[in-house]
Amino acid sequence: MTELRWLDRPGDQGTTWGVPWPRGAVASGTPFALADAGGRAVPVQSWVSATWPDGSVKWSAHAIGAGPHAEAYRLEPGREPAATATPVTVAREGRELVVSTGVITWRIGGGTLARSVTRAGREIARDVRLVSLRQREPAPDEGGHVARERADGVVESVTVEQDGPVRAVVRLEGRHGDWLPFTVRLYFHAGAEHVRLMHTFVWDGDPDRDFLAGLGVRADVVMRDEPHDRHVRLAGATGFLTEAVRGLTGLRIDPGEAARRNQVEGRPAGPLAPGVATRLHLIPTWSDYTLDQGSADGYTLRKRTKDGHAWVTIPSGTRSAGYGYVGGVSGGLGFGLRDFWRLHPTRLDVRNAATDLATATVWLWSPSAPAMDLRFYHDGMGQDTFAEQLEGLEVTYEDYEPGFGDPRGIARTHELSLRFHESTPAAGELAAHAAAMNEPGLLTASPERIREAGVFGVWELPDRSTPARAAIEDRLDFLFDLYAREREQRRWYGFWDYGDVMHTYDADRHTWRYDVGGYAWDNSELSPDLWLWLQYLRTGRADVFRFAEAMTRHTGEVDVYHLGRWQGMGSRHNVQHWGCSCKQVRISNAAYRRFHYYLTADERTGDLLDEQSAPERTFLAVDPLRKVRDDVYTPDPSALSVGLGTDWGALAAAWLTRWERHGDERARDRLLGTMAGIAAMPRRFLTGEGRLDLETGRFDTSRDQISISHLSSLFGLPEICAELIGLGIDVPGFEEAWLEYCRLYLATPEQQEAAVGRPLTGISLIEAHSRLTAYAAARTGDAGLAALAWRKFFTGEGDQLNDNPLTEQKEWALTTVDGPRVPHAVREAAFVSTNSAAQYGLAAIHNLALIGEHLPEK
């Protein structure tokens, strides 16, 4: 039995989550039952999301219907689930797909997301659709008219991924006219009035002539009530703008206290004072409303009576919760976008509310904003040859190459909420709906229970039992809290940016190096994703989960190519997320997405993992080492150059995930075959680079060289090797090969020469690599190696945080900078970079878990 708790708070929506199981504990085909803390059976839908090599369940996924929900639940394998009284049903009726939650019914067909949506037999909305606007040139700096083309998204295929009884998922795919392929998933839960909509689009335009000027989800809402019984609600920062299409408050003649109160509260106004009832035609009807979130710091509100007349401004505010309602006392539509202000520029529109058919639009890119401009940010500055590009790398750390700063193939995912009401909801209900949209309920097992399952490799729960342990835990907390604070005070928000962090700090300007080549957006460099997810697993902190979730959404979509010549690869850090010419699987690394998928069973994250089903093929597209090779090499399908660190680690994560999710024998064979190949090489992991036969999935094992890179182990290789070894699969020599690398990397030159004939070169990032030494110590029981690992962890030798001689930062503390030197006061930790933060975090987590008993107290 597994106890489950809510990550943040229980909501009233359906929810889906994942649970890990120890190897051999749950056999394939085992049913699951769910009960609340009082023992009341709760209907649950369950499926397997991963298996152990022996075929037993590794991760299961579960869904419950709409609430109200209990504070906690118990999940028990081996018992049949309770039946739901209002199951989700999915049926074909002619050319339409009809999905019902027992409360609302969607009719899907005709190329739109929904032809009609009804509640209790009454149509609430129709023609739920996608809309987009495109320009062929950017708007001039000083303004001026630029023609815009509108295109409705056309659904080309409909797939039922789940059909109930508690949860149904429908995937719709299509295009916006002749560009922007999209995928929309609709999530239906038993008994729900709400549908979750997950929208993903891939940008496939020409950045020099395609400028996205608007992207949205739109629905028509049936309006049946008198204009004074029709209501518009738009969320501000804490509450809602409360308006009626024909207002009764503030009139010269009082319509009656009950009528005023009823209208404000969303109820039928009832009888009106005669002086008002006979003059209703003289009260303006306000048909159109707009809430425009132009930045993370402010939104504007306006309304007008109808098209062709002037807008009237409404008091504006800071950060809208991104939720609205249009309808009347006989029903209407609630609509919104999660992370609305964080993903600016965004907009909510209501149009034609005084007519029989109002229109609500959630704009993912606001038409009020300048059109999206994805052209490269500089002209190349004459860097036409590899030699010139390497010179540029030396000064700005930017790996530039003509034509490689191309955004074609990047993607973005948004999560929306559509809720179909039988009457206008009260303000408190709307606030709860907005909160549930922005922090959707998620059930989780405790960190202790997840640790007992033995998943995700090396980590342990926080332990503050000694001063030394507590000091490291304090620093881990300091680093996460720093990045959470920096995201806010540096405004790391926006359509393409939200979820990422910056790479390196500029202490002179008291800001991050947002405009300096490869020092700007981090793009998963040195694995901050892994650090954050492991920190969540060990602490169970909701704020860490939400931060890591946003990073996964960003780095898996924006930093990775989903179509085109670089499909399956990601882009290294740059001023623009797609700007670097280094396109590699170290960024599209499945190891960075697995956490979110298994904890949430999120289908879109599953798509990202499936895109890595054959990641080795990406090495045909571009040679990652093309600018620095001493040898002559062209990508050869029978002898592909694959680094045994950043490259193979990412390949292994993808193959392992494919195997455990789908039972894919091809992925298993390539994983085990390359593990055996590394073990058979004369220099094993020290070889640095292998040649892979794409057809057989095997390495050439005759290669005899020693080549060390300080980056090899910093993109998930230690984590994936520990997980592979922990699986207990029989690959002779692999563990020995990995332990040799772990033992020798921080060994003395004399020890290295005695082992392999010469000292190793390319050794740096000592603190980060201390976790390799710790792993060798733990696996061999060598107390001397454990002492060495802690010594290297605490001794600053280069780019790390502990007692770093480059910064002389002995105590970790924030410094306040204010006055005329900065646009606004900031609290900075100038000694922290994301490289060092991520690798300190990973080294600390590993070392505490592996050799915590050897931690010196001094």
Percentage of the chain exceeding pLDDT 70: 98
- Lowest mean pLDDT: which of 1-10, 348-357, 479-488, 492-501? 1-10
| Encoded tokens for 1 | 């039995």
Q: What share of the chain is helix, strand, coil (3-state, %, to 5)?
A: 30, 25, 45
Q: What is the pLDDT of residues 655-686, one digit of tens each?
A: 999 999 999 999 999 999 999 999 999 999 99
| Encoded tokens for 735 | 């563990």
DSSP string for residues in 423-482: SPPPHHHHHHHHHHHHS---EEE-HHHHHHHT-SSS------SSHHHHHHHHHHHHHHHH
Q: What is the reported pLDDT for 831?
A: 93
Q: What is the reported pLDDT for 807?
A: 44
Task: Phi first, then psi: give them for residue 551, nearest 5 degrees.
Answer: -65, -40
698's enclosing H/E stretch is strand 698-699
Does residue 805 register a pLDDT over 50?
no
In contact, 69 and 12? CB cutoff 8 Å: yes
Nearest to 612 by CA among 532, 668, 564, 667: 667
Does residue 796 register a pLDDT over 90?
no
**503: CB partners within 8 A, 6+ apart:** 512, 513, 518, 519, 520, 521, 522, 525, 573, 833, 834, 835
At 390, is the pLDDT very low, low, confident or very high (cuts 50, 70, 90)?
A: very high
Report which DSSP code applies to 810: -
In contact, 361 and 333? CB cutoff 8 Å: no
Distance (Å, whole) CA 301 – CA 240: 12
Compute the average pLDDT of residues 682-702. 97
pLDDT, mean over the chain: 96
Task: Phi first, then psi: give them for residue 388, nearest 5 degrees.
Answer: -65, -40
Distance (Å, whole) CA 265 – CA 242: 8
Q: What is the pLDDT of residues 98-119, one digit of tens each?
A: 999 999 999 999 999 999 999 9
At 632, is the pLDDT very low, low, confident or very high (cuts 50, 70, 90)?
A: confident
Does residue 806 register a pLDDT over 80?
no
Domain locations in the chain?
Answer: 88-220, 616-655+665-713+730-749
Nearest to 98 by CA among 106, 88, 109: 106
Nearest to 185 by CA among 610, 558, 602: 602
Strands (E), 192-268: 194-202, 211-222, 230-235, 240-244
At 345, is the pLDDT very low, low, confident or very high (cuts 50, 70, 90)?
A: very high
Model pTM score: 0.97
Distance (Å, whole) CA 181 – CA 176: 7
3-state secondary structure 147-158: CCEEEEEEEEEE
Strands 211-222 and 122-135: antiparallel
Nearest to 346 by CA among 498, 140, 153, 239: 498
At 568, is the pLDDT very low, low, confident or very high (cuts 50, 70, 90)?
A: very high
Does residue 281 register a pLDDT over 90?
yes
At 12, is the pLDDT very low, low, confident or very high (cuts 50, 70, 90)?
A: confident
Compute the average pLDDT of residues 211-228. 98
